[in-house]
A = this chain, B = another copy of it.
């Protein structure tokens, strides 16, 4: 496939990539096999830390150096990585781009910025966005409640949250939640984003290391096949609907201990053994594609969608 011409905006400039598409930092999954495919496709691969396995992460970052000469980033999931040496670690590895999430943006931003890194903080509400900008971040990942993963229990959809944040801040925004292709990327850009983050779409990619049972559940499932756990406690979770999560949906307080066997699910394929963090876009994903095809098709359809809109006004 011929590669599309690069897009140019504040996000591609800050990230040093051709296309403003970022792969989400799924715990255990966002490692070098997937992230290097994303970076090599001209988008931005991200290495996770939410597994808490810092030694494994260190090795994965080293592997990234072998697998790609393109930029990549690291996510610092503050709730899971309480060791402040995480910042020194990321800086030592020579990483230039970090997303911080699930914690107070004041905790690491100034240190990371002082070390010369570009920092985007992940936010689920306007008030969190304002706090992050106040803390000095370079940009925001604005995450709508339709996305998979750890969520604010008072979830707000991308259609509402993104333009709201856009209207109140000047920093560049990467949209997360509900984005899986060029059509949703065009919508996100209409709402004020200059980049998009894809989680479930990348989990389902050919290069994703997860078990085919989960990929097949994403491909065959409907848009209504996620559940939201811990609506009235924390952390909220959006996940694949299974027998287990259908039962957990009725519990007032789902413990993270319910996720202890996550690797049996993610890599062993036992979908009832844990909680498979998955977004509503699963209903739009109809096949397993290579990361290169996902990125290229997204950019082509993004441009086609805007050209068609432009012809209609």
Taking the closest CB of chain B, its distance from the CB of A232, in whole angstroms, is 7
Question: Number of A interface residues, CB 8 Å?
Answer: 54
Q: Does A249 contact B (CB under 8 A)?
A: yes
Taking the closest CB of chain B, its distance from the CB of A23, in whole angstroms, is 19
Q: Does A126 contact B (CB under 8 A)?
A: yes
Which among A100-108, A288-296, A301-309 touches the partner chain? A301-309
CB atoms of A164 and B9 under 8 A apart:
no
* Contact of A310 (CB < 8 Å), options: B146, B284, B306: B306
Bound CA span A88–B250, Å: 44
Q: Does A158 contact B (CB under 8 A)?
A: yes
Bound CA span A126–B181, Å: 18
Q: Does A144 contact B (CB under 8 A)?
A: yes
CB atoms of B179 and A183 under 8 A apart:
no
Which among A50-58, A75-83, A189-197 touches the partner chain? A189-197
CB atoms of A178 and B157 under 8 A apart:
yes
Residues of B within 8 A of A34 (CB): none
Residues of B within 8 A of A232 (CB): 249-250
Residues of B within 8 A of A145 (CB): 157
CB atoms of A309 and B306 under 8 A apart:
yes
CB atoms of A309 and B190 under 8 A apart:
yes
Bound CA span A149–B191, Å: 24
What are 19 of the A-B contact pairs (CB < 8 Å)?
A125-B222, A125-B223, A126-B223, A144-B157, A144-B159, A152-B224, A156-B280, A157-B177, A157-B178, A163-B184, A163-B187, A164-B223, A166-B183, A183-B192, A187-B190, A231-B231, A302-B313, A306-B313, A307-B313
Residues of A within 8 A of B (CB): 7, 9, 125-127, 144-146, 152, 154, 156-161, 163-164, 166-167, 177-179, 181, 183-184, 186-192, 222-224, 231-232, 249-250, 279-281, 283-284, 302-303, 305-307, 309-310, 312-313
